[in-house]
Amino acid sequence: MISTALPVAHDMDSLAERHLNHKTITFEEIAGKGKSQLTFNQIALEQAAPFMRQKMLM
C-alpha cells in the first residue's frame, strides 16, 4: 500500500499557522541561520521579548 498523505509538521509554529491562520515569529527570524546564527543571549531584548512572549502563550 502506498501512502498518498503529505508530510505534515506538528510543531507549534506549523499548527498555529494551519489551524489559527497565525504566522509566528521563528527563531531563525530573530537569530539568523548558518554560521552567522546568533545564540539567544546575543539577540537584542527588543527582538527576543516578542518571540518569548509568543512561545509562552502557545
pLDDT digits (tens, 9 = 90+) for 6-17: 677 888 888 889
C-alpha dihedral, 57 to 15 to 42 to 35, nearest 10° = 170
Tell me how far apart the alpha carbons of residues 57 and 46 are, in angstroms, rounded to a whole number: 18
pTM over 0.75: no
pLDDT for res 10 = 83
Single-letter residue type at 20 = L
pLDDT for res 6 = 67
- The answer, yes or no, to whether residue 57 has pLDDT greater than 80, is yes
Radius of gyration of the chain (CA): 15
Single-letter residue type at 35 = K
> Mean pLDDT throughout 3-32?
86
